[in-house]
Amino acid sequence: MSLPRKDLFEMPEGLIYLDGNSLGPLPRSVAARVASAITDEWGQQLIRGWNVSGWMAQPSRIGDRVGKLIGAPEGSVVMGDTLSIKVFQALSAALAMRPDRRVIVSDTGNFPSDIYMAEGLVALKDAGYTLRLAPPEDVADHIDEHVAAVMLTEVDYRTGRKHDMNALTKAAQDAGAVMVWDLAHSAGAVEIDLAASNAEFAVGCTYKYLNGGPGAPAFIYVRPDLADDVQPALSGWLGHDAPFAFEPSYRPAPGIERMRVGTPPVLQMVALDAALDVWDTTTMAEVRAASIALCDLFITEVEARCPALKLVSPRDGSVRGSQVSFAFQNGYAAMQALIDKGVIGDFRAPDVMRFGFTPLYIDEGDVRAAAAIIEDVVTNDLWNRPEYLAPKRVT
């Protein structure tokens, strides 16, 4: 396949969408598939859809589709719930594997929700646990014999800085700790080989680069040799070995199925399943190569046109995710002006203008056009208007 494949996506005319790292656009196949699920499955089959249309099997079947994009063996990924729930599940299971240790290591660049979930778990356990936050570049130096689990997001949500998954997993395991990776900004953006990394757990969302839509379900990976023994702290009905036996006590299902919790969001699963068809037409290697080239071009163009913007992403594409971030004192207002002019990125406090690059629907022409509009907004102070300076709830 040649990239991009703009024909596979719904995109408003004249818009340059550089925010797929926050919410992917709508693949054209999704609307009809969801409409059919509503009218033909839910509408006609009613409760029979759980069996006739395979709703109950969605989490594992779609989990295997996601698994192919992250280097996970078949039967090691399951879908459902939100990413925060999956972080809690993975981290609590990791701590249970090292009951004599009391330290969780993460980094200061991790996504706040992951940190909040860790803080909540520490408070809930109330057993002398501590959360140790290290600078991203110094994580390995903070892993010692007291550490039970290391929890990191592979690609920094603000800067795009990319951790070395294999090296840090080895560092954690050499110290006797369990490794948990958050792939929210990696899945569908960079090449991942979870099997080769040997990590025990991984989690991620599907509404960014996988284009599953707002509220799309998260995923969790458990290394296959551990899956029959991990202890799910959230012992939900659908993680039971025999949910419809309605036994009075929890008995975990074998393998990855025990990491299911609640009822799967069927319509969101249908949307994600349809969105994943895009990935049947390309490879992660193709997407990654195109992503690095587009990001490199964007950096060159923006730096030549807008010296007031300071690059905060790694210049080396091999250690950068599929996004480019620039710091600008008036970044929030500038981003609002850009959105008004048809270039959609987003802003992360305190001063980061963030641009995501998905080669499935972005090409070199888009990059050059976006850079020209950024130049116009910044050099001509087009951001300095009351409507752009007023903060909105979502940035």
Active site residues: 111, 182, 207-208, 354
Closest CA to 21 of 153, 168, 196: 153
3-state helix, strand, coil split of the chain in percent (to 5) is 45, 15, 40
Q: What are phi and psi of 174, to 5 degrees?
A: -60, -30
Q: Which residues contact 46 (CB under 8 A, 6 or more apart)?
A: none
Asked whether the beta carbons of 78 and 58 are under 8 A apart, the reply is no
Q: Which helix (H) or strand (E) holds 124?
A: helix 112-125
Kindly state the greatest CA–CA separation across the chain: 68
Beta bridge partners of 152: 181
Please say whether the dihedral angle defined by the alpha carbons of residues 198, 199, 201 and 206, taken in this order, is positive or negative: negative
Residues 160/161/165/169 CA torsion (nearest 10 deg)? -120
Token look-up 């509220």 returns 215
Q: CA separation (Å) from 46 to 55, 126, 151, 269?
A: 11, 45, 41, 17
DSSP string, 241-281: S-GGG--SS--BPSGGGGG--S---HHHHHHHHHHGGGGGG
Q: Cα separation of 351 and 158, whole Å?
A: 10
Contacts of 4 (CB under 8 A, 6+ apart): 290, 359, 360, 361, 362, 363
The phi, psi pair for 102, rounded to 5°, reads -135, 20
Question: Strand, coil or helix: what is 395?
Answer: coil
What is the 8-class DSSP label of residue 142?
G
User: Token pair 């895009």 is at which residue?
Assistant: 278
